Structure 1
Amino acid sequence: MFELMFCSLLTILPDYLFRRYVQGKRFGKEITFFSIWYELRWGITGCLMLTVSLITMIFYFHPSTTSAALYFRTVPILPEGSGRVAEVNVGFSEPVKKGEVLFRLDSSKQEAALETAKRKVAEVDASFTTAQADVTKSEAQIQEARAAHQQAKDELDVKSDLQRRNPGIVPQRDIEKLQVLVDQRQAGIDAATAAKQSSVLRVSTLLPAEKASAEAALAQAQVDLDKTFIRAGVDGRVEQFLVRVGDVVNQLMRPAGVLIPEGAGQQSLQAGFGQIEAQVMKEGMVAEATCISKPWVIIPMVVTTVQDYIAAGQFRTGEQLIDPQNIARPGTILVFLEPLYKGGLEGVTAGSSCIVNAYTGNHEEIVAKETSTGRKIVLLVIDGVGLVHALLLRIQALLLPIKTLVLSGH
């Protein structure tokens, strides 16, 4: 309507004023409905064409959308395993801090496994003490074997010396027995040495490995026990937390609830603009928004990100070929906007639906020296008609509560 009235000032009104005050024609006499159309047909046609052109230019260079919302991420509250709830520490809706225990699962099995792992570590520590004693015992046995070997060797040397000096004084059979005894005592030394090496290896290698395995099993048991305590991963707020003692929860079928991170839905606004505006939407564009949860307020925004992909065109590998005509409706260009001023989204409820206008700005090109005069005029007109869209947004913001509360029938 505003565009039609504006265009009529440039076409129909001058024509009418000329015929009324210059030619002296009057309503009901020379000016009738037929004569208005016949005499003003060029003005009416020009008015309609100019109106369509103006509306097209406004909505193309200054796009608008009602598909905008403060989307926010939720974190599902899920245990890493499954189990029965044994204790609940938060209510239906409550703020929580990172690391705070939300609820606890039954942990009798994990506690038993942890106690078994502790006993295994204690058993390995006891084996260390026994192995140290075995090393000491092996050293004593080596000393004993060496003493016995030395004694047998000395006796063999004495009798061998006597036999050499006075042949026949010592029976040959006795010398042979002593030689066998010396070899036997040497074997005893070797056996004691091998036993010591085995004990030393057990202390230095085997038992440390067993203790490391036992400690790893203990750590695993402690981790499994800790997993029964479900904690908040971030600062935020739990909402609609209905899990109670005795409920069974698991990752696939029975999540416990959702955690909304602190500040979720307060940093940026996401809006979907038509695909025809893909060449117009740029990062850094100034925009304005009005939201249902905060009526009669215009929030200055700035475009921070323009997504290069349209969600309607995505697909996953499957057994069927893709047919483009199966796309139910064309997708939109996803745009992220942030408040131009700090605290701009304060008071706007996360998830609220909004209306967004974006405005094309050509100031840098207009002030550039190499820009021609004709192009400067065109760019000034494009930037100037953004005022019409800004006015329309304010009218929408003014009528939004009335439309929502009265005209919607609620």
Structure 2
Amino acid sequence: MLEFMICSLLTIFPDFLFRRYAQGKRLGREINLYSMWFELRWGITACVILTLSLITLIFYYHPSTKNVTAVFRTVTILPEANGRVAEVFVGTNEKVAAGAPLFRLDSTGQEAALETARRRVSELDAESAVAQTELVAADGLIAQAEGAYQQAVDEYETQVELNRRNPNVVAKREIERRQVAVNSREGALAAAVSNKQTLQTKIASLLPAQKASAEAALAQAQVELDKTVVRAGTAGMVQQFALRPGDIVNPMIRSAGILIPEDRRVGLIAGFGQIEAQVLKPGMIAEVTCIGKPFTIIPMVVTEVQDVIAAGQVRPADQLVDVQQMARPGTLTSFLEPLYEDQFTGIPPGSNCIANAYTSNHDELTHGNVSTPRWLFLHMVDALGLVHAMILRLQALLLPVQTLVLTGH
């Protein structure tokens, strides 16, 4: 309507002035309700063409959308494993600090595993003490084996010496028996030394490795026990939290609730029409008015434009996707941020808004070498942004009336 009124001042009104004062036709006589089209046909036709052209240029180069939402972040409260709730520490709509416990699952199995791991560490400590005692005993066995070996060697050498002096004194069989005894004592000594080396290796390598594994199992059991206490990952407010002791919580099926962080605000997400894909760019200046804060125009800036349209996404499935199922056109998702700080003060998260984005050709007009027709066209495009800004302000004025009176909300 505003575009039509502006265009009529440039087309219908001059045509009427020409008919009235140049041709002498009077309003109510030659120009009446029945002869209006014939008398003002040139002005009406030009007005319609100019209005359609103006609306097309405005909404193409200065896109507008009502699909704008002040999105915010939420955190799902979920345990890492399923279990039965044993204790609840907070209630609904309660503010919690980061790391505060929310609820605890039944931890009987985890406590038993932790105690088993703790006993295993104690068992290895005791085994290490026993190994130290066995090492002392091994030194005694080595000393005993060395003495027996030395005695066997002395007896063998005595028999050999006697046989050398008088072959008839010592029988050859006795010398062989002494030789076997020496070899036997030597083997016992080697076995005692090897047993000591085994104990030393066990004390130096095996037992520390087993203890490290047991301590790792103990730490893992402690982690599993700690997982039974679900804590808040960030400071915020707990919502939709209706757990009670005895409830079963499964991270794959049922969540425990929602945590709304204190730093929950992400910004505005706007869905513009696909036809604005060639015009909408990051860095464009925008304006929004939100139903949560009426009569207020908030300057924004387009920070990011999603380069894909969500309506066309395809996920792996066991059925082929028919294009007819994706016939509904999607929107071009854009992210808007306040141009100045503290612009979102007083706007509830999740509010619906109306947004305008404005094309600016200032850089091209200032630094670019453009032709005269294009220079005029770019000036006209930038000037039309004023019309769209006026429309947004009219919408901001009518939005409370439309919401409270016309829709009864």
TM-score, scaled relative to structure 1? 0.95
| 1:222-279: CA deviation from partner (whole Å, max 9, x where unpaired) | 11101101011223322122112222111122210011233222x4210000011111
Which stretch has the larger CA shift, 320-329 or 119-128? 320-329
For 1:173 and 1:18, locate their aligned partners in 2 and report how far apart those are by CA, in whole Å.
154
Corresponding residue SS for 1:182:
helix
- Where structure 2 has 5 or more consecutive residues not aligned to the other structure, the ranges are none
**How do 1:120-269 and structure 2 match up within 5 A?**
120-265=120-265, 267-269=266-268
Deviation of 1:328 (Å): 4.2
In 2, Cα distance between the equivalents of 1:325 and 1:83?
43
Deviation, 1:170, is: 3.0
Closer/same/farther in 2, CA of residues 4 and 165 from structure 1, 3 Å limit: same
Matched letter for residue 400 of structure 1 = L
Amino acid at match of 1:133: T
Counterparts of 1:292-307 in structure 2, within 5 Å, are 292-307=291-306
Distance 1:270 1:348 in 2: 14
* 1:191-223 alpha-carbon deviations (Å, 9 max, x no partner): 212222222232233322321221122112111
Code of the aligned partner of 2:126 = A
Distance 2:363 2:130 in 1: 86
- Bigger shift: 29-38 or 188-197? 29-38
| In structure 2, distance between residues paired with 1:310 and 1:263 | 28
* Aligned equivalents of 1:197, 1:176: Cα separation in 2: 32
Is residue 98–residue 235 contact of structure 2 (8 Å, CA) maintained in 1? yes
Task: Give the superposition deviation at 1:92.
Answer: 0.5
Is 2:359 the counterpart of 1:350?
no
Q: How does 1:5-154 map to 2 (within 5 A)?
A: 5-154=5-154
Q: For structure 1, which segment, 23-32 or 357-366, has the greater mean C-alpha deviation from structure 2 after superposition?
A: 23-32
Matching residue of 1:395: 394
Deviations 1:116-175 (A, max 9, x none): 110110001100111111122112101111111111211221232122123323343433
Looking at structure 1, the residues matched to 41 and 375 of structure 2 have their Cα atoms a distance apart, in angstroms, of 32
Structure 1 residues 21 and 390: CA distance shift in structure 2, 3 A: same
1:50-107 Cα offsets, whole Å, 9 max, x none, are: 1111111111111100001022232211111111112222220122232221111111
SS where residue 300 of structure 1 aligns? strand
Deviations 1:282-338 (CA, angstroms, capped at 9, x unpaired): 111000011111111111000010111001111123344433232241001000110
Read off the aligned partner of 2:47 and give its amino acid letter: C
The runs of at least 4 consecutive aligned structure 1 residues that moved more than 6 Å come to: none
Displacement after TM superposition at 1:43 (Å): 0.9
- Residues 30 and 179 (structure 1 numbering): CA distance in 2 closer, same or farther, change over 3 Å? closer
What is the distance in 2 between the residues matched to 1:48 and 1:390? 22
Residues 288-367 of structure 1 aligned to structure 2 (within 5 Å): 288-367=287-366
Q: Aligned partners of 2:319 and 2:249: how far apart in 1?
A: 36
Measured in 2, the distance between the counterparts of 1:32 and 1:209 equals: 106
In 1, Cα distance between equivalents of 2:320 and 2:268: 36
> SS where residue 242 of structure 2 aligns?
coil
Q: In 2 relative to 1, CA 190–285 (structure 1 residues): closer, same or farther, beyond 3 Å?
A: same
Cα distance in 2 between the residues matched to 1:155 and 1:225: 68
How many residues were matched structurally?
A: 409
Shift of 1:369: 5.0
Greater Cα offset, 167-176 or 142-151: 167-176
Q: Which moved more, 1:202-211 or 1:119-128?
A: 202-211
After superposition, the CA RMSD in angstroms is: 1.6
Amino acid at match of 1:222: Q
Which region of structure 1 is more displaced relative to structure 2, 234-243 or 171-180? 171-180
- What is the match of residue 278 of structure 2? 279
Contact 2:121 2:215 in 1 (8 A): yes
Amino acid at match of 2:382: D
Rounded to whole Å, the distance in 2 between the matches of 1:245 and 1:23 is: 92
Instruction: Report the Cα distance in structure 1 between the residues aligned to 2:174 and 2:18, rounded to whole angstroms.
Output: 157
Compared CA separation, residues 76 and 369, structure 1 to 2 (3 A): closer
The whole-number CA distance in structure 2 between the counterparts of 1:124 and 1:332 is 65
Change (3 A) 1:104 1:318: closer
Q: State TM-score, norm by structure 2.
A: 0.96
Distance 1:365 1:125, change over 3 A: same
1-structure distance, mates of 2:254, 2:137: 61
Letter in 2 for 1:178: R
Unaligned runs of 5+ in 1: none
Tell me, what secondary structure is at the counterpart of 1:290? strand
How far off its partner does 1:185 sit?
A: 1.4
For the residue of structure 2 that corresponds to 1:341, the secondary structure is coil
% identical equivalent positions: 58
Partner Cα separation in structure 2 for residue 70 and residue 30 of structure 1? 57
Kindly tell me: are residues 175 and 121 of structure 1, through their superposed partners in 2, closer, same or farther at Cα, counting changes over 3 Å?
A: same
Q: Distance in 1 between matches of 2:307 and 2:2?
A: 34
Measure the CA separation in 1 of the matches of 2:318 and 2:181: 86
Q: Partners in 1 of 2:355 and 2:137 — Cα distance?
A: 88
